[in-house]
Amino acid sequence: MPSALSGEITRRRFMVASGMLVAAGCAIPAELLAQEDSLVQTAFRVAATAPITAKALRRNITVLSGPGGNIAVLTGADGKLLVDAEIVTARPNVAKAIASINSDPITQLINTHWHFDHAGGNEWVHQAGAKILAHENTRKHLRVDTRVEGWKHTFPAAPPGALPSEVFDEVHTVHANDTTLALKHYLPAHTDSDISVHFVEADVFHCGDTFWNRNYPFIDYSTGGSIDGTIRAAEANIATVTDSMIVIPGHGAVGAKADLILFRDVMAGQREKVAALKKQGMTLAEVIAAKPGASTDAEWGNGFMTPALFLEWVYQGT
Ligand SMILES: [Zn+2]
């Protein structure tokens, strides 16, 4: 493994790809690589070669899972509609996976929120023919340089072609491919730009990053996220989702209502433990050493976000 990848970032999500980290034929913006952080840079590098798997869900919906956020693909006579567009460097494998479904063009893209592992492919997907729709805060963050302290990274303003051409505030409905898509903005949760996408007829619900299935989530305090907002959104998802729904998380395997309940319970449980330890006067380092997530760390902290990172973001919000 290259030395740049050693240390804390030996994530399960990236392990398959880590043995073949060679420079891919995909340009990584120099200004992004010039920064000293490791997590975001590693994500850019790994995504260049990480595999993308396609799984047919129900009706005309397929989910693509790779190094970044899960992509939903809705197919039909109107052309492909995507929900999210992965990390920019994943383009070759994402394009291949999309083309493996059928040869129809991509005509629409919806962003669940502004983060680089969901909206990173915006520009190339737009160039391929898609118009982009998102919450207004997604466009707000993408159009300017945005610092994310939790990742110690500043994302430069996105080029004009990567910006959503249409935005909404609270709710929005899209009709495409004989499908009704009901979009809804969450109260500030993972960020202030999170939306859910309900494919009504297929009864498939994409939660974006308000739900990480058996993975500790990132919480972006720099653009409106918090642990309490994360728990509140998990409650909202549980209230919305029925037993028959297929639930697409931002990260992790496709699941169902029981997985959302587990996520809420783990988030609320960790918050409670960390708050109690902090109240006793413990520093962040002492809280991390106390391992309040011992029962879930092996499974949930084995992905992109380590237990220590997650605890840092919980500690910050309690
Ligand atoms: Zn995110």
The residue among 181, 175, 182, 199 whose CA lies nearest residue 59 is: 199
pLDDT (mean) for 302-315: 91
Cβ pair 217, 230 in contact under 8 A: yes
Distance 113 CA to ligand 1 centre (A): 7
Q: Return d(Cα 95, Cα 86) in angstroms, integer.
A: 11
Distance 104 CA to ligand 1 centre (A): 28
Dihedral of CA atoms 223, 224, 230, 231 in degrees, nearest 10, equals: 170
Distance 26 CA to ligand 1 centre (A): 22
Encode pLDDT of 21-54 as tens digits.
Answer: 333 344 555 555 555 667 899 999 999 999 999 9
Distance 77 CA to ligand 1 centre (A): 30
pLDDT (mean) for 121-134: 98
Six-digit token string for 189: 């949760």
Residue 105 has pLDDT above 60, yes or no: yes
Distance 190 CA to ligand 1 centre (A): 7
pLDDT (mean) for 56-61: 98
Encode pLDDT of 217-245 as tens digits.
Answer: 999 999 999 999 999 999 999 999 999 99
pLDDT value, residue 35? 59
Distance 118 CA to ligand 1 centre (A): 7
> Which residues does 27 contact at the CB level (< 8 Å), separation at least 6?
none
pLDDT value, residue 21? 33
Q: Return d(Cα 165, Cα 167) in angstroms, integer.
A: 7
SS3 157: coil
Distance 65 CA to ligand 1 centre (A): 15
Distance 88 CA to ligand 1 centre (A): 14
pLDDT band at 14 (very low <50, low <70, confident <90, very high): very low
Distance 82 CA to ligand 1 centre (A): 17
pLDDT value, residue 30? 54
3-state DSSP percent of the chain in helix, strand and coil, to 5: 40, 20, 40
pLDDT (mean) for 10-20: 36
Distance 112 CA to ligand 1 centre (A): 9
SS3 295: coil
Is the pTM for the entire model greater than 0.85?
Answer: yes
Distance 119 CA to ligand 1 centre (A): 9
Distance 150 CA to ligand 1 centre (A): 11
Cβ pair 302, 315 in contact under 8 A: no
> Which residues does 279 contact at the CB level (< 8 Å), separation at least 6?
none
Q: What string of DSSP letters covers 75-111?
A: -STT-EEEE----GGGHHHHHHHHHHH-SPPEEEEE-
- The lowest-confidence range among 10-24, 146-160, 193-207, 281-295 is 10-24
Q: Report which residue type is found at 72.
A: A
pLDDT value, residue 211? 98
Residue 180 has pLDDT above 80, yes or no: yes
What integer best gives the mean pLDDT of the chain?
A: 91
Distance 115 CA to ligand 1 centre (A): 5
The residue among 53, 41, 51 whose CA lies nearest residue 4 is: 41
Distance 281 CA to ligand 1 centre (A): 31
Distance 193 CA to ligand 1 centre (A): 10
Distance 209 CA to ligand 1 centre (A): 5
Distance 201 CA to ligand 1 centre (A): 27
